[in-house]
Amino acid sequence: MKTMELNRRQFLKGTGALIVSFNLFPSSPLFGQSTVGPGIDADPTQLDSWLAIAPDGTVTVFTGKVDLGTGVETALAQIVAEELDVPFSRIHMIGLDTAKAINQGTTAGSRSIERGGPQLRQAAAAARQELLKLAAARLNSTPEKLAVKDGVVSVTGDTRKTVSYGQLIGGKQFNAKITATGTGWDMKVAPEVRAKDFKEYKVVGTSQKRIELPSKLTGEFVYAHDVRVPGMLHGRVVRPPTITSKPASIDDSTAKTVRGFVKVLQEGSFVGVVAESEWAAINAAKALKVTWTQPQTKMPASADEVFAILKNTKSLRDQVTVNKGNPDTALAQASKTYEATYRWPFQMHGMMGPSCAVADVGKDQATIYTGTQGSFETRKAVSELLGFPEKNVRVLYREASGSYGRMGADDVSEDAALLSRAVGKPVRVQWMRDDEHAWEPKGPAQLDLVRAGVDPQGKIIAWDFADRGFPLTAASGRGLRLLASRQIGMKPTADGNSNGTQGGGEMYAFDNQKCAAPLIPWVQADETPLRTGYLRAPGDIGRCFASESFIDEIAADQRVDPVQFRVRYLGENKRGTDALMAVTKQARWQERPSPAAGSSGTKAAGRGVAISNRAGSICGAVAEVEVDKSTGNVTVKRFVLAHDCGLIINPDGLKNQIEGNIIQGVSRALMEEVKFDATGIKTLDWKTYPVIRFPEVPEIDIVLINRPEMPALGGGEPSSAPIAAAIANAIFDAVGVRLREAPFTPERVLAGMKKA
């Protein structure tokens, strides 16, 4: 604890300000401390920045990765335990604190295991090397002659000579330099240090139980929503129709009568209230009568209008990922051509707990507690919002509700910061349900145009795939601004980030092939509630729905079994073929073309297949559905999925993630669509934006393909990608109806059956 005090002083000296709430740290063994480098962040070239070992042998890891409820912290702890040869139970991962943690980049994109894992592994391997040097000196031996078990070093062949990690370094710093080049996701840490061979793994590859789960099940876990600091007030926001409509008038006469009312804040189009209690803040916000000026931009009046924009607007960049041969010429020469258009709707993350943060803003410094996916991005956004030097803003991660990409845009921290500055006290802001449904950045709509041509033998010789989609503009950094920043007039300087490019059929090898994802400019000058942001497996679900439906359409027309048809084009793609074979074997796939022979009853059964590659993780999926021909209702009875993400760190943790992806994927495929008109979002609660419930959840069967010789890849989102496609293909198999627009509602199925 002594070290922590010292470092507290260091930190305070650095910021020249008193930071509250150190007392909020849980009584964790915070004896160690990362070492701040020449900049304002922990220096990754100092081993002490990565981890510290206590006298009792406990290892504290100052990771820059956070757990978003996926269990990745447990998996990262396994990697560290493995490399250090200490029991898993002795690894302590501290919550990300920008004053201590290494900036390992955002926690997103299923990259924490793939990128963050090797960084921690190499730091741990470097630590082990240092420990062996110390042990050799202590035991009068050489590192080569030493063995480690459970954090105790012994001399091979002389069991009396032992020393523990705790005895070697406990409570002290390594003071050792390691190499670290590059930043964030791309940082390369100590590549010269030899890590263990996978054949020696004892902890990696085992199903360790989630570290934090017991406390979540008893109410002891402190979520962002549960953070309380002394003197804390409560805030609520009142949003405009769009960010350019400003308050023409604010009548706060009733709001002021709410007991506990403190203040109304207006800055640009940002309006919020602060009160002494949460209930008072809610009531004051409700009682505030704001008349808004006309927005510059009208929201699109319908989904059709959005798809027309996607179809008719010139792209910002075409994002061509495959360009082989000449699809146009090949199409002209083809003996038969195919063409189809697929639509994917705006969808929501729908965090169960709406956005929540606590900010404590002083004269020239700020402390933020938040569930952000990018603590360093939040720090930068808040510092720019408040005009403070970045070093004077400290962000403390507290896990919030599962966010699936939503907290890549940490809007609520800005809300809390503005309100806290206005009252000079800590303020907790929680969005209400309709705030979240209205203003969360949505996964944007996509319009996918696909053409293909076959030769006289039915072989695909041309493939032209264009996923027309919007850039993701609700983010911070890289020239983009969060909601409150926009509301007070800070302008973005970039047109947005890519919504991904994978899933357009690039897994297959066609003679002439083009896969592109043109980015169509989206309303930027006047941000509307149809904001765009990263939503789990960004864009891949829509693209995979289009490409994997389309190849199924051709297979059906050619009267070929859809699995056999795919295998023809997977060619050298061994992992793709393996995943497809594994899933069809598990599903007891019967080889035949689709659709199935029609059934006479009211219910028709069907099966569908799809494959995907998201960030290197390969999935094969089979959906088994039942379609009620009288109502059009689709029930997914069973879902089988084969998953290959290279080396598996924690099989049960991975399965938990895959189950979640399948269930959320079924929900998104069958029922989810953000509805809106020119006045705003119309799906503002769980009644109007339904998500899957217990009675609708399918039976799930997962096949894990472990490739220990490969690097470990992500498991947080890849298995979302093929779900909708497999279901669409199963619906076609059941009733012969090809749905080219999601979600697959009873109305769409019935309409399709009428046309057929």
Write out the residues near another protein by the rule CB under 8 A.
Answer: 68-71, 209-210, 213-223, 225-226, 228, 259, 277-279, 349-354, 399-402, 404, 430, 432-433, 652-653, 656-657, 659-664, 667, 685-687, 691-695, 697, 700
Nearer to another protein, 461 or 726 (CB): 726
Least distance from another protein to the Cβ atom of residue 695, Å: 5
The CA distance from 44 to 63, in Å, is: 11
Q: Say if residues 178 and 191 touch (Cβ distance below 8 Å).
A: no
Q: Which is nearer to another protein, 132 or 619 (CB)?
A: 619
Rounded to a whole number of angstroms, the minimum distance from the CB of residue 664 to another protein is 5
Q: What is the 3-state secondary structure (H, E, C) of 238-252?
A: ECCCCCCCCEEEEEC
Which pair of tokens denotes residue 57?
């042998």
How many CB atoms are located within 10 Å of the residue 13 CB? 8
- Identify which of residues 69 and 116 has a Cβ nearer to another protein in the complex: 69
How far, in Å, CA of 721 to CA of 545, rounded? 8
Beta bridge partners of 618: 613, 644
Backbone angles phi, psi at 283, to 5 degrees: -70, -40
Secondary structure percentages of the chain, helix, strand, coil, to 5: 35, 25, 45
Write down the least CB distance from residue 671 to another protein, Å: 12
Q: Which is nearer to another protein, 141 or 657 (CB)?
A: 657
Instruction: Name which of 751, 755, 749, 725 is nearest 604 in CA terms.
Output: 749
CB of 685 vs another protein, minimal distance in Å: 6
Minimum Å gap between C-beta 636 and another protein is 13
Nearer Cβ to another protein (399/506): 399
- Shortest distance (Å) from residue 692 CB to another protein: 8
CB of 617 to another protein, least distance (A): 17
Dist. CA 268–CA 266, nearest whole Å: 6
Minimum Å distance from CB 656 to another protein?
A: 6
Does residue 332 sit in helix, strand or coil?
A: helix
- Closest to another protein by CB, 481 vs 536, is 536
Among 221, 205, 419, 450, residue whose Cα is nearest residue 340: 450
Here the tokens at position 125 are: 């391997």
For another protein, give the closer residue by CB, 191 or 214. 214
* CA-closest candidate to residue 97, choices 177, 178, 30: 30
Q: Report the 10 Å Cβ neighbour count for 198.
A: 15
Distance of CA 533 to the CA centre of its chain: 11
Distance CA 264, CA 143 (A): 66
> Closest approach of Cβ 67 to another protein, in Å?
9
Q: Which phi and psi angles does 437 have, rounded to 5°?
A: -65, -35
Minimum CB–partner distance for residue 69 and another protein (Å): 3
Residue type, 2: K
For residues 411 and 408, what is the distance between their CA atoms, to the nearest angstrom?
A: 9
Cβ proximity to another protein: between 212 and 318 the closer is 212
Q: Measured at the alpha carbon of residue 658, what is the angle toward residues 188 and 746, in degrees to the nearest 5? A: 135
